[in-house]
A and B are shown apart, each in its own frame.
Chain A
Amino acid sequence: MLDTPRAATEPVARSRTARRVLGLLALVAVLAVLAVLSVAVGSRAMDLGQVWAGLTDAGSDSYPVVTELRLPRTVLGLAAGAALGLAGALMQAMTRNPLADPGLLGVNTGAAAAVVTASFFMGSFGFTGTVVFAFTGAAVASVAVYLIAGAATATPARLALAGAAVTAAGYAYVSAIQLMDAATLDQMRFWSVGSLVNAHVAPMLPVVLLIGGAAAVGVLLARPLNALALGDATATGLGVDPRVLRVAGIAAITVLAGTATAVCGPIVFVGLVVPHVVRAFTGPDQNWVLPYSMLSGAAFLIAADVLGRVIARPAEVQVGIVCAVAGGPFFLYLVSRRKVARL
């Protein structure tokens, strides 16, 4: 008697799992192709042989370009894209709000506010300085949002309101400073569009370690987030403390989005759109949504960066612009085609 329902549902469940595993493998393959393209494509295009020589033969012509410029840019693009995709998925799961993105925690505004403040008082500084200031600003802003939302008593709605308030105030502040000081505006202009051009001077190891560590924490939150998706009350009944989960989630998002934003500027679109597309394919199980969002985010950002290097050769279009121009209409299409999923 009890075996009948199992026999009826198991094949369905199994074929669905098979589809998700295949999708994940396909995603990894796409990512590999994009990574090779990202090394090969640029103002000086290379064929596969030159890419290989550039990676392995220190004496070859392509070695300096590959190891000093394109490889760091590719690695950083992958890391930042993965971080933004995962941070977006975590943010949407944590707030049960399909329109949430890490920017809602004030990460972008916080980073921008810190960069303009530093630039206003200290004049110009190098890219590593920008990264450090931006990361600090992002962290301070998200802690502020969490505290204003009521810390342990924060609800998704209060988090969203506090985030909107901090973002509005921060945006006004950033605009005011930029209007007062032309040099600051100049320093900011490049960063605030979102670009991977400076990747070769970025502090690579700390960036990859920070994102890797936070990603490990984020992916481990999948199961408690699945419980939280049923409401705070149900989650409590199942043995999840929503307050503890929110603290862990906000910490992971802050490090992921803060690091990515610090390195390549505020690219909001990845965190907003990627988890949406992913959920349409995987369904609502966070065990799949999170890894899928991570890989898709990396693929999306790298693809946008490669595209930006191709469309305006020999100049290039910043990845932030490509993301918005390519992602905007796509997002509109998605929203108009299917109802925005409730979480």
Chain B
Amino acid sequence: MTAGPLVVEDATIGYGRVAISEGLSVDIPEGEFTVILGPNACGKSTLLKALARMLKPSAGRVLLDGKDIHSQPTRAVARRLGLLPQSPIAPDGITVADLVARGRYPHQGILKQWSAEDERVVAEAMAATDISELASRGVDELSGGQRQRVWIAMVLAQQTPLLLLDEPTTFLDITHQIEVLDLCAKLHREGRTLVAVLHDLNQAARYATHLIAMRDGEVVAEGAPADIVTADTVQQVFDLPCRIIDDPETGTPLVIPKALASARI
């Protein structure tokens, strides 16, 4: 198996002197929709931050296209790798079109200002996320679900083959969660490599084509959802006794937590 576009090689990652993961190795396969999951504080967001070069490993390396990500110019990396962080900030009074346009940053320069190409890419990104009619609205007037689609459009305008999404469904109600995940699945079908951190096991099992399950800073299981979403793995990762059935909609694994004897009615 050849190495994927993003590889973590024997890395120690953490904040200051506190190491969250030690000797961590992860290979993000090309063309897959990878979902990283695990209980709170398992190191999944830390791993995503390392993949996005927001954290520099104190030992080991993160490789983008086979080269150390920290040795490449950050703007060049930004043309390969897009990031939607957990809580991005929308400046007061900014319009949807202006926010999406800021995704063009790594493609512009002092001598290469706003071009017709930029205009076209921004219009396409807004059309792909179905927010074209909102273009001249203020971002602060939008609902949570609309706003998340605007942010995804901004990352799309960056035109990167790789997309990292840190908990893109948090704070959204269930309808908007599904809407955002359907959009992610569409982007994946169109050929992008996606990596997302998700909380919901069943959503992860339904949408991911590749799963990375983490606990205590280590990868516990890795592979296709059908192979690794088993009662044993769920017990091992989440300490949750459960049964696994086939999702009647999609046929993917569906986790049914066991009812405790004492809680049975």
Contact = CB atoms under 8 A, between A and B. Distances in A.
- Interface size on B, as a range, is 35 or more
Interface in B101-123: 102-103, 105-106, 108, 110, 119-120, 123
B135 A8 contact: yes
Interface string A1-34: 1111110110011000000000000000000000
Contact of A284 (B87, B91, B136): B91
A13 B97 contact: yes
29 contacts: A1-B127, A2-B120, A2-B123, A2-B127, A5-B132, A5-B135, A6-B119, A8-B133, A8-B135, A96-B89, A224-B105, A227-B105, A229-B89, A230-B89, A230-B91, A230-B99, A231-B88, A233-B88, A234-B83, A234-B85, A237-B78, A237-B82, A237-B84, A238-B78, A239-B75, A239-B76, A241-B74, A283-B95, A341-B93
B53 interface: yes
A337 interface: no
Nearest to A231: B89
Contacts of B119: 6
Contacts of B90: 230
A239 B136 contact: no
Interface of A: 1-6, 8-9, 12-13, 96, 220, 223-224, 226-227, 229-231, 233-234, 236-241, 279, 283-285, 341-343
Contact of A236 (B54, B76, B98, B123): B54
Q: Per DSSP, are chain B's interface residues mostly helix, strand or loop, or mixed?
A: mixed
Contacts of B91: 229-230, 284, 342-343
A2 B127 CA distance: 7
B63 interface: no
A237 B83 CA distance: 5
Contacts of B179: none
Contact of A233 (B77, B83, B103): B83
A234 B88 contact: yes
A238 B97 contact: no
Given A237-B52, A284-B93, A5 B105 contact: no
Contacts of A234: 83-85, 88-89
Given A5-B133, A230-B99, A285-B98, 11 more contacts: A4-B132, A8-B136, A227-B102, A229-B89, A231-B87, A233-B83, A236-B83, A237-B52, A238-B106, A238-B158, A343-B92
Contacts of B95: 283
A220 B88 contact: no
A287 to B, nearest CB: 9
Given A1-B127, A237-B82, A226 B102 contact: yes
Contacts of B9: none
Contacts of A220: 110
A106 to B, nearest CB: 26
A342 B83 CA distance: 23
B178 to A, nearest CB: 24
Nearest to A285: B98
A6 B122 CA distance: 9
B126 interface: yes
B174 interface: no
B152 interface: no
Contacts, number: 109
Nearest to B87: A231
Given A2-B124, A233-B88, A236-B83, A8 B132 contact: yes
A220 B81 CA distance: 25
Contacts of B59: none
Contact of B94 (A233, A237, A284): A284
Contacts of A229: 89, 91
Contacts of A241: 74
Interface string B118-153: 011001101100001101100000000000000000
Contacts of B92: 284, 341-343
Contacts of A233: 52, 54, 83, 85-86, 88, 166
A13 B127 CA distance: 18
Given A13-B97, A96-B89, A234-B83, A5 B103 contact: no
B155 interface: yes
Contacts of A96: 89
Contacts of B87: 231
Contacts of B98: 283-285
B132 A239 contact: no
Contacts of B154: 230
Nearest to A234: B88
B132 A238 contact: no
A13 B114 CA distance: 13
Contact of B105 (A1, A239, A284): A239
B97 A240 contact: no
Contacts of B53: 236
Nearest to A241: B74
A209 B228 CA distance: 66
A236 B135 contact: no
List the 4 closest pairs (A to B, CB-CB), nearest first. Answer: A239-B78, A237-B83, A5-B132, A233-B85
A239 B107 CA distance: 10
Contacts of B76: 239
